[in-house]
A and B are shown apart, each in its own frame.
Chain A
Amino acid sequence: MTLSDIQNLVALKLGEQSLFYPPEEVTRSGINPAQRLLCLVYPLLLTQRATVTVDADLPFIDLRQVLDTDGVILGNRIRTLRRVVMGNVSGDAPVHNAATDALHELRETTVQALSTRANDWMNKRGLIRHYWKWGTYWIGLYRRPIVATTVTFIYDAVPKQLVFDADEPQVQEVYHRVIAEIATGLLLIKEGSPQGERGLARIGDALDLTQQGQAR
Protein backbone atom coordinates (compact mmCIF):
# COMPACT_ATOMS: atom_id res chain seq x y z
CA MET A 1 0.00 0.00 0.00
CA THR A 2 1.15 3.50 -0.72
CA LEU A 3 0.96 6.41 1.69
CA SER A 4 -2.08 7.60 -0.24
CA ASP A 5 -3.79 4.20 0.22
CA ILE A 6 -3.05 4.18 3.94
CA GLN A 7 -4.32 7.76 4.28
CA ASN A 8 -7.58 6.71 2.62
CA LEU A 9 -7.89 3.70 4.90
CA VAL A 10 -7.32 5.83 8.00
CA ALA A 11 -9.83 8.38 6.71
CA LEU A 12 -12.42 5.61 6.38
CA LYS A 13 -11.74 4.44 9.93
CA LEU A 14 -12.16 8.01 11.16
CA GLY A 15 -15.45 8.50 9.36
CA GLU A 16 -13.98 10.53 6.48
CA GLN A 17 -13.87 13.70 8.57
CA SER A 18 -11.22 15.39 6.46
CA LEU A 19 -11.79 18.77 8.11
CA PHE A 20 -11.13 17.46 11.61
CA TYR A 21 -8.43 15.08 10.38
CA PRO A 22 -6.69 16.72 7.38
CA PRO A 23 -4.43 14.41 5.33
CA GLU A 24 -1.21 16.14 6.41
CA GLU A 25 -2.15 15.58 10.06
CA VAL A 26 -3.01 11.95 9.31
CA THR A 27 0.52 11.45 7.95
CA ARG A 28 2.37 13.62 10.46
CA SER A 29 0.63 12.60 13.68
CA GLY A 30 -0.75 9.24 12.64
CA ILE A 31 0.94 7.16 9.97
CA ASN A 32 4.61 8.06 10.50
CA PRO A 33 4.58 7.67 14.30
CA ALA A 34 2.48 4.51 13.85
CA GLN A 35 5.04 2.77 11.66
CA ARG A 36 7.81 3.79 14.06
CA LEU A 37 5.86 2.39 17.02
CA LEU A 38 5.21 -0.87 15.17
CA CYS A 39 8.92 -1.30 14.42
CA LEU A 40 9.83 -0.25 17.97
CA VAL A 41 7.65 -2.99 19.42
CA TYR A 42 8.65 -5.52 16.77
CA PRO A 43 12.22 -4.57 15.78
CA LEU A 44 12.69 -7.66 13.62
CA LEU A 45 10.13 -6.29 11.16
CA LEU A 46 12.80 -3.98 9.78
CA THR A 47 16.41 -5.07 9.98
CA GLN A 48 18.83 -3.44 7.58
CA ARG A 49 22.49 -3.38 6.61
CA ALA A 50 24.78 -0.50 5.78
CA THR A 51 28.38 -0.57 4.64
CA VAL A 52 30.73 2.12 5.90
CA THR A 53 34.38 2.73 5.16
CA VAL A 54 36.38 3.87 8.16
CA ASP A 55 39.42 5.88 7.10
CA ALA A 56 42.88 4.89 8.22
CA ASP A 57 43.75 5.94 11.79
CA LEU A 58 40.26 7.29 12.44
CA PRO A 59 39.62 6.93 16.19
CA PHE A 60 35.83 6.79 15.83
CA ILE A 61 33.00 7.85 13.55
CA ASP A 62 29.98 10.01 14.15
CA LEU A 63 26.99 8.30 12.53
CA ARG A 64 25.33 11.69 12.12
CA GLN A 65 27.97 12.44 9.50
CA VAL A 66 27.39 9.24 7.51
CA LEU A 67 24.64 8.89 4.89
CA ASP A 68 22.95 5.64 3.91
CA THR A 69 22.24 4.65 0.29
CA ASP A 70 19.04 6.72 0.34
CA GLY A 71 20.95 9.83 1.40
CA VAL A 72 19.44 9.71 4.90
CA ILE A 73 21.70 10.27 7.92
CA LEU A 74 22.63 6.75 9.00
CA GLY A 75 22.58 7.74 12.66
CA ASN A 76 18.87 8.39 12.35
CA ARG A 77 18.12 4.96 10.92
CA ILE A 78 19.99 2.79 13.41
CA ARG A 79 17.84 2.03 16.43
CA THR A 80 19.87 -0.90 17.75
CA LEU A 81 23.14 -2.12 16.34
CA ARG A 82 22.89 -5.92 16.15
CA ARG A 83 26.22 -6.84 14.56
CA VAL A 84 29.28 -5.22 13.07
CA VAL A 85 31.14 -7.26 10.47
CA MET A 86 34.50 -6.57 8.85
CA GLY A 87 34.03 -6.42 5.09
CA ASN A 88 30.92 -5.85 3.04
CA VAL A 89 28.19 -8.38 3.76
CA SER A 90 25.31 -6.22 2.62
CA GLY A 91 24.79 -8.05 -0.67
CA ASP A 92 24.56 -11.61 -1.92
CA ALA A 93 28.30 -11.85 -2.58
CA PRO A 94 30.29 -10.92 0.54
CA VAL A 95 33.33 -8.76 -0.15
CA HIS A 96 36.30 -9.25 2.16
CA ASN A 97 37.91 -6.16 3.59
CA ALA A 98 40.35 -5.10 0.87
CA ALA A 99 43.53 -4.56 2.88
CA THR A 100 43.26 -7.33 5.44
CA ASP A 101 41.11 -9.88 3.55
CA ALA A 102 39.01 -10.06 6.72
CA LEU A 103 35.37 -11.07 6.84
CA HIS A 104 34.44 -11.68 10.43
CA GLU A 105 32.21 -10.40 13.18
CA LEU A 106 33.52 -7.78 15.57
CA ARG A 107 32.70 -8.17 19.25
CA GLU A 108 31.11 -5.29 21.11
CA THR A 109 33.03 -3.68 23.92
CA THR A 110 32.69 -0.47 25.90
CA VAL A 111 34.85 2.55 26.59
CA GLN A 112 34.76 1.51 30.24
CA ALA A 113 36.06 -1.99 29.45
CA LEU A 114 38.78 -0.67 27.16
CA SER A 115 39.86 1.89 29.75
CA THR A 116 40.11 -0.84 32.35
CA ARG A 117 42.16 -3.02 30.03
CA ALA A 118 44.77 -0.48 28.95
CA ASN A 119 45.49 3.19 29.54
CA ASP A 120 46.60 3.64 25.96
CA TRP A 121 43.72 1.84 24.23
CA MET A 122 42.88 4.86 22.10
CA ASN A 123 46.45 4.94 20.90
CA LYS A 124 46.58 1.33 19.72
CA ARG A 125 46.53 0.65 16.00
CA GLY A 126 46.37 -2.67 14.22
CA LEU A 127 44.27 -5.80 14.16
CA ILE A 128 40.59 -4.98 14.58
CA ARG A 129 38.56 -7.36 16.74
CA HIS A 130 36.13 -5.10 18.61
CA TYR A 131 33.90 -2.11 18.20
CA TRP A 132 32.70 0.27 20.87
CA LYS A 133 29.84 2.73 21.11
CA TRP A 134 29.44 5.99 22.96
CA GLY A 135 25.76 6.75 23.08
CA THR A 136 23.78 6.24 19.95
CA TYR A 137 25.88 8.04 17.38
CA TRP A 138 29.55 7.44 18.14
CA ILE A 139 31.17 4.18 17.05
CA GLY A 140 34.83 3.29 17.15
CA LEU A 141 36.87 0.31 16.02
CA TYR A 142 39.39 -1.27 18.38
CA ARG A 143 42.12 -1.14 17.43
CA ARG A 144 42.26 1.91 15.22
CA PRO A 145 42.59 0.85 11.59
CA ILE A 146 45.99 1.19 9.96
CA VAL A 147 44.38 1.28 6.52
CA ALA A 148 40.92 2.25 5.28
CA THR A 149 38.58 -0.47 6.52
CA THR A 150 35.15 -1.49 5.34
CA VAL A 151 32.63 -2.63 7.93
CA THR A 152 28.98 -3.58 7.65
CA PHE A 153 26.47 -2.51 10.28
CA ILE A 154 23.47 -4.80 10.75
CA TYR A 155 20.82 -2.97 12.70
CA ASP A 156 17.20 -2.68 13.75
CA ALA A 157 16.09 0.24 11.64
CA VAL A 158 13.77 3.14 12.19
CA PRO A 159 11.44 3.19 9.16
CA LYS A 160 11.85 5.92 6.61
CA GLN A 161 9.45 8.84 6.88
CA LEU A 162 6.59 8.63 4.39
CA VAL A 163 6.33 11.92 2.55
CA PHE A 164 5.00 11.49 -0.97
CA ASP A 165 1.70 9.84 -1.95
CA ALA A 166 3.51 7.01 -3.74
CA ASP A 167 5.85 6.23 -0.81
CA GLU A 168 5.40 2.78 0.68
CA PRO A 169 6.27 1.68 4.22
CA GLN A 170 9.42 -0.42 4.37
CA VAL A 171 7.80 -3.19 6.41
CA GLN A 172 6.02 -6.04 4.62
CA GLU A 173 2.66 -5.23 3.06
CA VAL A 174 0.85 -7.53 5.47
CA TYR A 175 1.58 -4.98 8.23
CA HIS A 176 0.41 -1.89 6.34
CA ARG A 177 -3.13 -2.22 7.66
CA VAL A 178 -1.73 -2.55 11.17
CA ILE A 179 0.00 0.80 10.61
CA ALA A 180 -3.35 2.29 9.56
CA GLU A 181 -5.02 0.92 12.68
CA ILE A 182 -2.32 2.27 15.01
CA ALA A 183 -2.43 5.61 13.18
CA THR A 184 -6.18 5.77 13.72
CA GLY A 185 -5.70 5.18 17.43
CA LEU A 186 -3.00 7.88 17.66
CA LEU A 187 -5.18 10.39 15.85
CA LEU A 188 -8.17 9.74 18.11
CA ILE A 189 -6.13 10.81 21.15
CA LYS A 190 -6.94 14.47 20.60
CA GLU A 191 -10.63 13.76 21.15
CA GLY A 192 -9.98 12.99 24.81
CA SER A 193 -12.53 10.83 26.59
CA PRO A 194 -14.08 8.47 25.54
CA GLN A 195 -12.90 8.37 21.89
CA GLY A 196 -9.26 8.84 22.82
CA GLU A 197 -9.47 5.96 25.26
CA ARG A 198 -10.91 3.82 22.52
CA GLY A 199 -8.02 4.98 20.33
CA LEU A 200 -5.55 3.81 22.94
CA ALA A 201 -7.32 0.46 23.10
CA ARG A 202 -7.12 0.18 19.30
CA ILE A 203 -3.36 0.75 19.47
CA GLY A 204 -3.01 -1.99 22.06
CA ASP A 205 -5.08 -4.39 19.99
CA ALA A 206 -3.23 -3.53 16.78
CA LEU A 207 0.13 -4.13 18.44
CA ASP A 208 -1.03 -7.62 19.26
CA LEU A 209 -0.04 -8.89 15.84
CA THR A 210 -1.85 -12.17 16.28
CA GLN A 211 -4.91 -10.11 15.43
CA GLN A 212 -3.49 -8.77 12.19
CA GLY A 213 -6.04 -8.74 9.42
CA GLN A 214 -8.92 -8.81 11.87
CA ALA A 215 -11.81 -6.81 10.45
CA ARG A 216 -13.08 -3.86 12.40
Chain B
Amino acid sequence: MTLLSEQVSRIRDILQDTDTSVTALSIIVTAHQESMQQLAREDMFPQIQWINAVALQGLYVLPTPVVTIGHVLYNERVLRYATETGLDRKYHGWEDLPGEPHYWTTDGQNPNTIRIVPTPKRTGSTIPVIPSPLVQNMVDNLVVFHTEDLSSDIGDEADVLPTYFDWDDWLTYHTARMLAERETPTQNLPVAALCAQLAALWEKYLR
Protein backbone atom coordinates (compact mmCIF):
# COMPACT_ATOMS: atom_id res chain seq x y z
CA MET B 1 0.00 0.00 0.00
CA THR B 2 1.96 2.96 -1.25
CA LEU B 3 0.88 6.39 -2.34
CA LEU B 4 0.03 6.77 -6.00
CA SER B 5 2.51 9.65 -6.09
CA GLU B 6 5.34 7.27 -5.18
CA GLN B 7 4.31 4.86 -7.90
CA VAL B 8 4.17 7.69 -10.42
CA SER B 9 7.68 8.80 -9.40
CA ARG B 10 9.03 5.28 -9.87
CA ILE B 11 7.41 4.99 -13.29
CA ARG B 12 8.89 8.34 -14.26
CA ASP B 13 12.29 7.14 -13.01
CA ILE B 14 12.14 4.13 -15.31
CA LEU B 15 10.86 6.07 -18.30
CA GLN B 16 13.19 9.01 -17.61
CA ASP B 17 10.07 11.10 -17.96
CA THR B 18 10.53 14.64 -16.70
CA ASP B 19 7.15 15.91 -17.89
CA THR B 20 5.20 16.71 -14.72
CA SER B 21 2.25 18.31 -16.51
CA VAL B 22 -1.31 17.36 -15.65
CA THR B 23 -1.71 15.70 -19.04
CA ALA B 24 1.39 13.53 -18.54
CA LEU B 25 0.23 12.57 -15.07
CA SER B 26 -3.18 11.66 -16.42
CA ILE B 27 -1.60 9.32 -18.98
CA ILE B 28 0.39 7.52 -16.27
CA VAL B 29 -2.60 7.25 -13.92
CA THR B 30 -4.84 5.92 -16.70
CA ALA B 31 -2.29 3.25 -17.56
CA HIS B 32 -1.90 2.44 -13.88
CA GLN B 33 -5.66 2.02 -13.51
CA GLU B 34 -5.56 -0.41 -16.42
CA SER B 35 -2.88 -2.44 -14.60
CA MET B 36 -4.95 -2.44 -11.43
CA GLN B 37 -8.01 -3.60 -13.31
CA GLN B 38 -6.03 -6.60 -14.51
CA LEU B 39 -5.46 -7.53 -10.85
CA ALA B 40 -9.12 -6.85 -10.08
CA ARG B 41 -10.22 -9.24 -12.81
CA GLU B 42 -8.06 -11.85 -11.12
CA ASP B 43 -9.96 -11.26 -7.86
CA MET B 44 -6.99 -9.70 -6.11
CA PHE B 45 -9.01 -7.33 -3.94
CA PRO B 46 -11.33 -9.28 -1.63
CA GLN B 47 -13.81 -7.33 0.42
CA ILE B 48 -16.62 -8.03 2.86
CA GLN B 49 -19.69 -5.87 2.45
CA TRP B 50 -22.64 -5.30 4.72
CA ILE B 51 -26.02 -4.70 3.05
CA ASN B 52 -29.22 -3.73 4.78
CA ALA B 53 -31.89 -6.33 4.09
CA VAL B 54 -35.37 -4.88 3.63
CA ALA B 55 -38.61 -6.75 4.16
CA LEU B 56 -40.09 -8.10 0.91
CA GLN B 57 -37.16 -6.80 -1.14
CA GLY B 58 -35.45 -9.54 -3.14
CA LEU B 59 -33.21 -7.54 -5.45
CA TYR B 60 -30.11 -5.82 -4.10
CA VAL B 61 -27.81 -3.70 -6.22
CA LEU B 62 -24.20 -3.98 -5.10
CA PRO B 63 -21.67 -1.16 -5.44
CA THR B 64 -20.22 -0.68 -8.92
CA PRO B 65 -16.69 -1.91 -8.07
CA VAL B 66 -17.89 -5.42 -7.13
CA VAL B 67 -16.27 -7.96 -9.47
CA THR B 68 -17.05 -11.47 -8.20
CA ILE B 69 -19.34 -12.63 -5.41
CA GLY B 70 -18.01 -15.53 -3.38
CA HIS B 71 -20.39 -16.04 -0.47
CA VAL B 72 -23.55 -14.45 0.86
CA LEU B 73 -24.82 -14.60 4.44
CA TYR B 74 -28.26 -13.59 5.65
CA ASN B 75 -28.87 -13.26 9.36
CA GLU B 76 -25.39 -14.78 9.94
CA ARG B 77 -26.41 -17.89 7.98
CA VAL B 78 -25.12 -19.17 4.66
CA LEU B 79 -27.22 -18.63 1.56
CA ARG B 80 -26.59 -21.14 -1.22
CA TYR B 81 -26.06 -20.11 -4.81
CA ALA B 82 -28.85 -21.23 -7.14
CA THR B 83 -29.37 -20.90 -10.86
CA GLU B 84 -32.65 -19.71 -12.36
CA THR B 85 -33.26 -23.20 -13.72
CA GLY B 86 -32.72 -24.70 -10.29
CA LEU B 87 -35.09 -22.22 -8.66
CA ASP B 88 -37.70 -22.88 -11.36
CA ARG B 89 -37.54 -26.56 -10.50
CA LYS B 90 -37.81 -25.94 -6.79
CA TYR B 91 -40.44 -23.18 -6.53
CA HIS B 92 -43.28 -21.86 -8.66
CA GLY B 93 -43.20 -18.08 -8.75
CA TRP B 94 -40.00 -17.87 -6.72
CA GLU B 95 -39.59 -14.19 -7.61
CA ASP B 96 -42.65 -13.50 -5.45
CA LEU B 97 -41.98 -15.79 -2.55
CA PRO B 98 -41.58 -14.24 0.91
CA GLY B 99 -39.97 -16.26 3.68
CA GLU B 100 -36.65 -17.08 5.28
CA PRO B 101 -33.95 -16.61 2.61
CA HIS B 102 -32.05 -19.75 1.57
CA TYR B 103 -30.59 -18.89 -1.81
CA TRP B 104 -28.92 -16.12 -3.73
CA THR B 105 -28.47 -15.81 -7.45
CA THR B 106 -26.96 -13.53 -10.05
CA ASP B 107 -28.24 -15.73 -12.84
CA GLY B 108 -30.35 -13.71 -15.26
CA GLN B 109 -29.96 -10.54 -13.18
CA ASN B 110 -28.49 -7.19 -14.16
CA PRO B 111 -24.75 -6.75 -13.55
CA ASN B 112 -23.90 -6.19 -9.88
CA THR B 113 -27.37 -7.28 -8.81
CA ILE B 114 -28.18 -10.23 -6.59
CA ARG B 115 -31.55 -11.72 -5.87
CA ILE B 116 -32.33 -13.28 -2.51
CA VAL B 117 -34.82 -16.17 -2.53
CA PRO B 118 -37.22 -16.25 -0.77
CA THR B 119 -37.39 -12.52 -0.11
CA PRO B 120 -36.81 -11.66 3.56
CA LYS B 121 -39.83 -10.92 5.73
CA ARG B 122 -37.92 -8.71 8.15
CA THR B 123 -35.99 -5.46 7.76
CA GLY B 124 -32.59 -5.55 9.42
CA SER B 125 -31.35 -2.96 11.86
CA THR B 126 -29.19 -0.14 10.57
CA ILE B 127 -28.02 0.92 14.01
CA PRO B 128 -24.20 0.71 14.07
CA VAL B 129 -22.59 -1.93 16.26
CA ILE B 130 -19.18 -1.15 17.72
CA PRO B 131 -16.80 -2.91 17.62
CA SER B 132 -17.18 -4.53 14.25
CA PRO B 133 -15.14 -4.18 11.09
CA LEU B 134 -18.43 -3.79 9.24
CA VAL B 135 -19.75 -1.36 11.89
CA GLN B 136 -23.24 -2.68 11.20
CA ASN B 137 -25.28 -5.48 12.70
CA MET B 138 -25.26 -8.76 10.77
CA VAL B 139 -28.52 -9.99 12.33
CA ASP B 140 -31.34 -9.93 9.72
CA ASN B 141 -28.98 -8.28 7.26
CA LEU B 142 -26.85 -9.43 4.35
CA VAL B 143 -23.08 -9.88 4.36
CA VAL B 144 -21.44 -10.41 1.00
CA PHE B 145 -17.94 -11.80 0.53
CA HIS B 146 -16.78 -10.47 -2.82
CA THR B 147 -13.88 -9.04 -4.75
CA GLU B 148 -13.76 -5.54 -6.10
CA ASP B 149 -12.09 -3.21 -8.54
CA LEU B 150 -10.70 -0.16 -6.82
CA SER B 151 -8.93 1.32 -9.82
CA SER B 152 -11.51 4.04 -10.33
CA ASP B 153 -10.87 5.25 -6.76
CA ILE B 154 -7.18 5.72 -7.51
CA GLY B 155 -6.86 8.95 -9.43
CA ASP B 156 -5.33 11.45 -7.06
CA GLU B 157 -1.62 11.37 -6.22
CA ALA B 158 -2.49 11.34 -2.52
CA ASP B 159 -4.53 8.13 -2.92
CA VAL B 160 -3.19 4.97 -1.33
CA LEU B 161 -3.13 1.85 -3.47
CA PRO B 162 -5.11 -1.06 -2.03
CA THR B 163 -2.40 -3.60 -2.90
CA TYR B 164 0.46 -5.13 -0.99
CA PHE B 165 3.87 -3.55 -1.46
CA ASP B 166 4.86 -6.52 -3.63
CA TRP B 167 1.95 -5.97 -5.98
CA ASP B 168 2.76 -2.27 -5.99
CA ASP B 169 6.15 -3.24 -7.41
CA TRP B 170 4.46 -5.41 -10.02
CA LEU B 171 2.10 -2.56 -10.91
CA THR B 172 5.04 -0.19 -11.38
CA TYR B 173 6.79 -2.43 -13.89
CA HIS B 174 3.57 -3.43 -15.62
CA THR B 175 2.50 0.17 -16.12
CA ALA B 176 6.00 1.25 -17.16
CA ARG B 177 5.97 -1.50 -19.78
CA MET B 178 2.61 -0.32 -21.15
CA LEU B 179 3.79 3.27 -21.34
CA ALA B 180 7.18 2.40 -22.85
CA GLU B 181 5.64 0.43 -25.68
CA ARG B 182 3.07 3.04 -26.70
CA GLU B 183 3.24 4.05 -30.34
CA THR B 184 4.67 7.49 -29.62
CA PRO B 185 7.97 9.27 -30.33
CA THR B 186 9.07 8.28 -26.79
CA GLN B 187 8.50 4.59 -27.44
CA ASN B 188 11.28 2.55 -25.80
CA LEU B 189 10.88 -1.12 -26.62
CA PRO B 190 14.08 -2.30 -24.85
CA VAL B 191 12.88 -0.77 -21.57
CA ALA B 192 9.38 -2.19 -22.17
CA ALA B 193 10.85 -5.65 -22.61
CA LEU B 194 12.94 -5.34 -19.45
CA CYS B 195 9.96 -4.11 -17.44
CA ALA B 196 7.92 -7.06 -18.71
CA GLN B 197 10.64 -9.41 -17.47
CA LEU B 198 10.73 -7.71 -14.07
CA ALA B 199 6.94 -7.88 -13.74
CA ALA B 200 7.15 -11.57 -14.66
CA LEU B 201 9.87 -12.07 -12.03
CA TRP B 202 7.67 -10.58 -9.30
CA GLU B 203 4.63 -12.48 -10.51
CA LYS B 204 6.52 -15.78 -10.45
CA TYR B 205 7.09 -15.48 -6.72
CA LEU B 206 3.81 -13.79 -5.84
CA ARG B 207 1.58 -16.55 -7.17
Contacts and interface: CB of A to CB of B under 8 A. Distances in A.
A, B in one complex: yes
Interface in A162-216: 186, 189-190, 192-193, 196-197, 199-200, 203
Interface in B17-55: 45-48
A81 B175 CA distance: 29
Interface residues of B, number: 42
Interface residues of A, number: 46
A45 interface: no
Interface string A42-58: 00000000000001001
A28 interface: yes
B45 A120 contact: no
Chain A interface helix/strand/loop/mixed: helix
A33 B147 CA distance: 27
A40 B170 CA distance: 12
B183 to A, nearest CB: 17
Nearest to A185: B198
B202 A37 contact: yes
Given A28-B13, A111-B145, A138-B48, A79 B166 contact: yes
Nearest to A204: B201
Interface stretch (A5-13, A60-68, A83-91): A60-68
A154 B65 CA distance: 32
Interface of B: 1, 6, 9-10, 13-16, 45-48, 70-71, 73, 76-78, 131-134, 138, 143, 145, 147, 164-166, 169, 172, 188, 190-191, 194-195, 197-198, 201-202, 205-206
Interface of A: 25, 28-29, 33, 36-37, 40-41, 55, 58-62, 64-65, 73, 75-76, 79, 111-112, 115, 118-123, 134-138, 158, 161, 186, 189-190, 192-193, 196-197, 199-200, 203
25 contacts: A29-B13, A33-B10, A33-B169, A33-B172, A36-B166, A40-B206, A58-B133, A59-B76, A60-B133, A61-B133, A76-B1, A119-B78, A121-B78, A122-B77, A134-B46, A135-B147, A137-B46, A138-B133, A158-B165, A161-B165, A189-B14, A190-B13, A192-B190, A196-B190, A196-B191
